[in-house]
């Protein structure tokens, strides 16, 4: 298995890792997938490891802080 660590990957590889893990974020209608993609931007940019991105998200969830923002649905309404 290939390493997912920043030191072992290029930016393009990290983008592909996130895209593969999240699936087709463009076709999502529930509004949360773009927020999840943004959650992993520090990993793509080489600023935080995947485990750190996940830990930061869990910490916000457990503490009640706002997580990724919901986007507009395909019909244009907010959920």
Concatenated DSSP letters of 18-75 = HHHHH--STT--SS-HHHHHHHTHHHHTTSS-HHHHHHHHHHHHHHT---SPP---TT
pTM given for the model: 0.63
Instruction: Return the pLDDT at 30.
Output: 55
Instruction: Return the pLDDT at 48.
Output: 95
**How many residues can be counted in the chain?**
79
**CB-facing half-sphere around the CA of 64: CA atoms within 13 A:** 0
Q: Which residues contact 65 (CB under 8 A, 6 or more apart)?
A: 59
Instruction: Return the pLDDT at 74.
Output: 45
Instruction: Return the pLDDT at 77.
Output: 40
Domain ranges for the chain, please list them: 6-63
Q: Could you report the per-residue pLDDT of 12-62, keeping only the tens digit for each?
A: 999 999 988 887 655 555 555 556 778 899 999 999 999 999 898 887 666
Instruction: Return the pLDDT at 26.
Output: 57
C-alpha–C-alpha distance, residues 41 and 39, integer Å: 6
């Amino acid at each position: 298995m290939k390493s997912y660590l920043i030191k072992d990957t290029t930016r393009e590889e990290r983008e592909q890792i996130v895209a593969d893990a999240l699936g087709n974020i463009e076709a999502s209608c529930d509004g949360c997938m773009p927020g999840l993609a943004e959650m992993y931007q520090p990993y793509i940019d080489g600023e935080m490891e995947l485990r750190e991105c996940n830990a930061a998200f869990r910490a916000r969830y457990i503490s009640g802080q706002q997580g990724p923002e919901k986007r507009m649905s395909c019909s244009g309404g907010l959920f």
